[in-house]
Amino acid sequence: MSLDANQASIREACDAGLLAGAVTMVWQHGKVLQVNEIGYRDVEAGLPMRRDTLFRIASMSKPVTVAAAMSLVDEGKLALRDPIARWAPEFARMRVLDDPDGPLQRTHPAQRAILVEDLLTHTSGLAYGFSVSGPISRAYLRLPYGQGPDAWLAALAALPLVHQPGERLTYSHAIDVLGVLLSRIEGKPFHQVLDERVLGPLGMNDTGFFVPAGNRHRAATMYRLDENDRLQHAVMGPPRTTPPAFPNAGGGLWSTADDYLRFARMLLGDGMLDGVRVLSAESARAMRTDRLTPEQKRHPFLGAPFWIGRGFGLNLSVVTDPARSAPLFGPGGLGTFSWPGAYGTWWQADPEADLILLYLIQNLPALTADAAAAVAGNTSRATLQAVQPTFVRRTYRALGL
């Protein structure tokens, strides 16, 4: 068996100047079968990608935050059916927009409280500025992130919901809210909660909301393609080197391929890794179990038909029908789970094959299989769009799956 062919599309994109570099990893049956270190983490400086390169993993942060929440569920400090107003009274009297695209002043009362489970499944009625339109979108873009978690939460709770709690899934700031809740429950900054409950027990020593000064040289530079399909350098600036006052629980983590592999293995191992139990088996399986109703799956996700052959657990997509899922999203057996990041980071764990794949790049906008619409009509960008799915298909083929 040779996995070498899965590198070809990545190297071609790098050689064409469409991609700076990538780190990929294939793990199966307890062993790392392959690590690809391709291209550069900084093209101008000539710094190559390495296995220990640090990446902004964006929304791949969300399942890690959810795992911290489920560890509190295991201890009885939190329950999925708890109203979030128990710890965030700012959300005690929510209202819902009459028209999701309409004026913010035209609202009606929420029919029930927002529950913890609503946050973990993005069914709370909260949103992101990019996941909705109209006046509510503009209001989300004005939220005061720089004023700390309490001011931000108060401003968010003052906005109307875009739909009733539990009605449908709208991608949102829900996991950022969850991070504030966990901080309040534990009485300490969220980054410390995450370190104590997930990162430390799993030995994810390179994962966090900042990059220590001594490791800054390991951080991958963020790129984007300009109008001439040339890489623009350092479009997000250098990483911060100290803990933020308000950690972005839904998208602010940095990590490495090896660190995130440990997290994925823990979920695949029903909450345990190398003899250390991080979550109960029940909580780990709950994260990997589809919770959407057929009615909720009728609604597209960010404009895409995301739920064909797939469902959604606790901030993890889950394959429910491999035959229907594969043509759109690539191979993965029943129960395969994942959640990508907006900057091109991607992973999936396949319980049927006891297989984990990771594919890490740093490009804006998202260049994963879930952002095909963003590159439609542009040949170069479409080529780049195909890199990750090609890596996955060729890896499965080489493994005889």
Q: Residue 377 has what pLDDT?
A: 57
pLDDT at residue 255, rounded to an integer: 98
Distance (Å, rounded) from C-alpha 239 to C-alpha 222?
Answer: 10
Phi, psi values for residue 318, rounded to 5°: -135, 130
Q: Identify the structural domains of the chain with CATH numbers, from first to last.
A: 4-53+210-243+288-398 (3.40.710.10), 76-186 (no CATH)
Distance CA 19, CA 13 (A): 6
- pLDDT for the residue numbered 8: 95
Task: List the strands of the sheet with 363-364, edge to edge.
Answer: 231-232, 223-225, 363-364
Per-residue confidence (pLDDT) for residue 367, from 0 to 100? 43
Return the pLDDT at 29. 98
Cβ burial of 373 (10 Å; 0-12, 13-18, 19+) is: exposed
Q: Measure the CA dihedral 306/368/203/268, to 10°.
A: 40
Cβ contact 81:144 at 8 Å: no
What is d(CA 239, CA 335) in angstroms, rounded to the nearest whole number? 35
pLDDT at 314: 98
Helix, strand, coil % in the chain, rounded to nearest 5? 35, 15, 45
Could you tell me the pTM of the whole model? Answer: 0.95
Spatial distance between the Cα atoms of 113 and 87, rounded to a whole number of angstroms: 13
Predicted local distance difference test score (pLDDT) of residue 372? 47
Give CA–CA dist 367/220, Å, rounded: 16
Give CA–CA dist 21/372, Å, rounded.
20
Q: What is the mean pLDDT of each run of 10 residues along the chain (401 residues)?
A: 94 94 98 98 96 98 98 98 98 97 97 98 97 97 93 98 97 98 97 98 98 96 89 89 94 98 98 98 98 94 90 98 94 98 96 98 65 55 85 97 95
Q: Which residue is it, tokens 């394959």? A: 319
Angstrom distance (rounded) from CA 169 to CA 120: 10
Contact 56, 341 (CB under 8 A): yes
Contacts of 276-280 with C-beta under 8 Å, sequence gap 24+, read 276/201, 276/202, 278/67, 278/71, 278/197, 278/198, 278/201, 278/202, 279/67, 279/70, 279/71, 279/74, 280/74
The residue type of 342 is A
CB contact at 8 A, 185 and 86:
no
